[in-house]
């Protein structure tokens, strides 16, 4: 068991060493060595996951006395399979994609080092190993994004990413220092056990230690997962090689969700941190999804899509659905990696022919012209509001009859209801020769997705957190009070329904004045989105002001 766990992390590093030493002699064969090593890593990681699924108890293996601890547990084995699998796809894609680029062997050395470091991070069982891997990922990403030494833009935004990562590392370093000072050990299992025994044993300035540590860990996760105000590095790192973009958006940026899950035994003893995490994730999801729609560059649009998805992942942690966040992390990694690797082909095809037929769907989506033939709106309103609720409640009742007792579960159901209702509402506004067939297919597809999503997320719950009381504790840590919760849900529901009603009635009258007014509103919103709410302009001005102040200080001190 120990040899298997160690080999999963060691094989990529061994491959990197071989390619570095013999890359000049191997030439193009360096890629075959790297791909073969990552394929072996994937097989070994799958073997560890199979052992975990077979019921082997979690274990830890120390490579040194105080640090170098590797964990064998459900979370580490699952993440190891995801990382090695995505890395294998990226390696295979890079064999031909990077063939004409300078530094061919060096690129695969960096890919192998990144893969091995990610595997060490997810298996780290002590704070020193976790911090070392966490820091090294940022350094390696800097070199990967700036692989093309001729591109000034690539190096500029690689530096931007490195600075953001370093700022995000500070809270995690501080959290590690507080934990070691309180418990006198670097071992994560020992720290978690001590916190579980007496969560209130230590405090920082009168605040319980778990609250402080959880808040610091959340801040570190925000920087790594591009949450709002710390997100500007993500959409601007597209000047690097496409395989790096795929690996970053499919794996590296998901590290925030993993970190929060790794410290779940700390978050379960908090009272005020998870609601704040939820708010940050919600704002990020809304802004990221909005900015995605206003981009005219496909890779930048995918970057903001990743920001929105990371917001949803952090939201799921904020409501206590930690295992669901891991499922979301994996799903997002698979489809976003595929989208990035296929972006070049899409751009090439679009230059030859946009391939969009001028049919009714195109007219609705692009020209924003709704159908002329309307169905009875009262009946459609009833279907829109009621059908998603029935599907969601039935699906979740299959897996847990007490699922509806937790606020976090209700929030997830609420967002599922919004998604389903929006789907049916959009269907109502579309043209179709057989309208009711379209509605039935939409509802059926929604039901299949929800049932599958519910069953799979429940399986993740049982695998990652088999203790039912611990799962309930995570949901309880996300509670905000019954009165505030009911008021918030009611307010958001009324706002969304009012928006649907407004959209419906705004299309009934088609006066010239109303169309002009609506066009101005859309133009203003598009201008804000296309300028990314002026956040990048603000950051640029702040950077120039700091540079000018530093210059004046250097002149005043006669350092220059």
**Torsion sign over Cα 143, 148, 154, 159:** positive
56 vs 386, higher pLDDT:
56
Number of domains in the chain: 4
Same domain, 253 and 198: yes
Structural domain includes residue 146: no
CA distance 220 to 178: 15
Per the CB < 8 A criterion, the answer to whether 401 and 468 are in contact is no
Same domain, 120 and 236: no
Structural domain includes residue 160: no
**98: burial class by Cβ within 10 Å (0-12, 13-18, 19+)?**
buried
pLDDT at 534: 82
Which DSSP symbol is given to 374? P
Tokens encoding 481: 């009070």
pLDDT at 298: 80
Last residue of a domain, one of 90, 125, 160: 125
Q: Is the pLDDT of residue 369 over 70?
A: no
Identify the weakest region by mean pLDDT among 32-41, 135-144, 391-400: 391-400
CA distance 309 to 317: 13
Structural domain includes residue 134: no
Structural domain includes residue 386: yes
Q: Is the pLDDT of residue 129 over 90?
A: yes
Tokens 């719950």, residue located: 461
Per the CB < 8 A criterion, the answer to whether 71 and 261 are in contact is no
Strand partners, 126: 187
Q: Around Cβ 231, how many Cβ atoms within 10 Å?
A: 26
Tokens encoding 389: 């609720």
Q: Tell me the residue ranges of DSSP E strands in 220-293.
A: none
pLDDT at 516: 64
Q: Is the pLDDT of residue 79 over 90?
A: yes
pLDDT at 300: 84
Q: Is the pLDDT of residue 134 over 90?
A: yes
Last residue of a domain, one of 355, 385, 405: 355
**Torsion sign over Cα 449, 455, 458, 463:** negative
Q: Per-residue pLDDT averaged across 37-52, rounded?
A: 95
Output the average pLDDT for the chain: 82
- The residues, any chain, with a CB within 8 Å of residue 552's CB and separated by 6 or more, are none
Same domain, 303 and 183: yes
CA distance 7 to 193: 28
CA distance 42 to 408: 34
Q: Is the pLDDT of residue 414 over 70?
A: no
pLDDT at 412: 64
CA distance 378 to 501: 11
Left, alpha or beta for 370 (phi > 0: left; psi -120 to 50: alpha)?
A: beta
Tokens encoding 324: 């669901």
Same domain, 110 and 195: no
Domain span at residue 528? 517-560
Left, alpha or beta for 350 (phi > 0: left; psi -120 to 50: alpha)?
A: alpha
- The residues, any chain, with a CB within 8 Å of residue 99's CB and separated by 6 or more, are 28
Q: Per-residue pLDDT averaged across 422-429, rounded?
A: 64
Same domain, 303 and 192: yes
Same domain, 195 and 337: yes
Runs of H (alpha helix) within 225-263: 242-250, 255-262
Cα R_g (the chain), whole angstroms? 25
Structural domain includes residue 157: no
Same domain, 302 and 433: no
Structural domain includes residue 168: no
Same domain, 254 and 303: yes
Same domain, 112 and 29: yes
CA dihedral 529, 366, 285, 438 (to 10 degrees): 170
Structural domain includes residue 387: yes
Q: Is the pLDDT of residue 483 over 70?
A: yes
Pairing status of strand 207-208 against strand 203-204: antiparallel
Query: How sure is the predictor about 371, in pLDDT bands with cuts at 50, 70 and 90?
Result: very low
Identify the weakest region by mean pLDDT among 135-144, 263-272, 376-385: 376-385
Runs of H (alpha helix) within 353-433: 360-367, 377-399, 407-428
Last residue of a domain, one of 355, 373, 399: 355
Identify the weakest region by mean pLDDT among 227-231, 256-260, 345-349: 345-349
Per the CB < 8 A criterion, the answer to whether 306 and 226 are in contact is yes
DSSP string, 484-536: HHHHHHHHHHHHHHHHHHHHHHHTT---HHHHHHHHHHHHHHHHHHHTGGGHH
Span 184-229, pLDDT tens digits: 999 999 999 999 999 998 999 889 999 999 999 999 999 999 898 8
Q: Is 57 helix (H, G, I), strand (E, B) or coil?
A: coil
> Which residue, among 401, 449, 337, has the nearest Cα to 88 in the 3D structure?
337
Same domain, 503 and 532: no
pLDDT at 555: 85
Identify the weakest region by mean pLDDT among 225-239, 259-273, 525-539: 525-539
Same domain, 212 and 295: yes
Q: Is the pLDDT of residue 492 over 80?
A: no
CA distance 232 to 224: 12
Query: What are the φ/ψ torsions at residue 521 (nearest 5 degrees)?
Result: -60, -45
Q: Is the pLDDT of residue 525 over 80?
A: no
Which of 7-16, 244-253, 365-374 tops mean pLDDT? 7-16
Which DSSP symbol is given to 557? T
Same domain, 455 and 421: yes
Structural domain includes residue 115: yes
Distances, alpha carbon 411 to alpha carbons 41, 182, 269, 385, 448, in Å: 38, 35, 21, 16, 20
> Which residue, among 421, 424, 457, has the nearest Cα to 326 in the 3D structure?
457
Query: What are the φ/ψ torsions at residue 61 (nearest 5 degrees)?
Result: -130, 120
pLDDT at 515: 61
CA distance 43 to 382: 51
47 vs 397, higher pLDDT:
47
């Amino acid at each position: 068991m120990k040899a298997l766990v160690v080999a999963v992390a060691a094989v990529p590093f061994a491959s990197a060493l071989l390619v570095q030493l013999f890359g000049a002699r191997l030439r193009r064969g360096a890629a075959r060595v790297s791909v073969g090593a990552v394929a072996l890593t994937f097989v070994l990681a799958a073997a560890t996951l199979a052992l975990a699924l077979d019921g082997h108890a979690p274990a830890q293996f120390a490579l040194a006395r105080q640090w170098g601890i590797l964990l064998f547990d459900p979370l580490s084995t699952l993440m190891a399979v995801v990382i090695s699998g995505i890395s294998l796809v990226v390696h295979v894609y890079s064999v031909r994609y990077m063939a004409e680029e300078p530094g061919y062997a060096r690129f695969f050395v960096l890919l192998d080092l990144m893969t091995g470091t990610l595997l060490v991070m997810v298996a780290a069982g002590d704070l020193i190993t976790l911090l070392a891997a966490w820091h090294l990922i940022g350094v390696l990403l800097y070199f990967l994004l700036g692989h093309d030494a001729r591109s000034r833009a690539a190096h500029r935004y690689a530096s931007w990413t490195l600075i953001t990562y370093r700022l995000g590392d500070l809270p995690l370093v501080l959290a590690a220092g507080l934990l070691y000072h309180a418990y006198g050990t670097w071992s994560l299992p020992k720290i978690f056990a001590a916190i579980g025994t007496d969560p209130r044993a230590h405090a920082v300035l009168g605040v319980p230690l778990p609250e402080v540590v959880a808040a610091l860990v959340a801040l570190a996760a925000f920087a790594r997962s591009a949450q709002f105000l710390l997100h500007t590095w993500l959409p601007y790192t597209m000047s690097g090689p496409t395989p790096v973009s795929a690996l970053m958006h499919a794996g590296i940026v998901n590290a925030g969700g993993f970190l929060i899950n790794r410290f779940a035994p700390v978050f379960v003893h908090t009272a005020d941190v998870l609601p704040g995490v939820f708010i940050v994730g919600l704002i990020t999801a809304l802004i990221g999804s909005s900015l995605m729609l206003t981009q005219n560059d496909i890779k930048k649009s995918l970057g903001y899509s990743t920001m929105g998805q990371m917001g949803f992942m952090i939201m799921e942690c904020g409501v206590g659905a930690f295992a669901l966040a891991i499922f979301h992390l994996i799903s997002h990694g698979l489809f976003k990696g595929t989208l990035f690797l296929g972006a070049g082909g899409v751009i090439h095809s679009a230059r030859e022919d946009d391939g969009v037929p001028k049919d009714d769907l195109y007219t609705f989506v692009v020209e924003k012209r709704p159908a002329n033939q309307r169905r009875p709106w009262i009946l459609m309103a009833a279907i829109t509001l009621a059908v998603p609720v029935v599907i969601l409640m039935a699906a979740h009742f299959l897996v847990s009859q007490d699922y509806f007792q937790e606020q976090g579960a209700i929030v997830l159901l609420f967002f599922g209801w919004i998604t389903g209702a929006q789907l049916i509402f959009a269907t109502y506004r579309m043209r179709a020769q057989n309208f009711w067939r379209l509605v039935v297919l939409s509802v059926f597809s929604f039901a299949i997705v929800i049932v599958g999503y519910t069953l799979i997320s429940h399986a993740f719950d049982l695998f990652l957190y088999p203790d039912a009381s611990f799962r309930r504790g995570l949901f309880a840590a996300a509670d905000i009070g019954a009165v505030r919760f009911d008021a918030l849900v009611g307010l958001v529901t009324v706002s969304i329904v009012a928006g649907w009603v407004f959209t419906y009635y705004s299309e009934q009258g088609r006066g010239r004045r109303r169309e002009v007014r609506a066009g101005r509103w859309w133009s203003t919103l598009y201008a804000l989105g296309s300028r990314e709410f002026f956040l990048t302009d603000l950051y640029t001005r702040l950077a120039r002001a700091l540079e000018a102040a530093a210059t004046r200080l250097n002149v005043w001190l006669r350092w220059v």
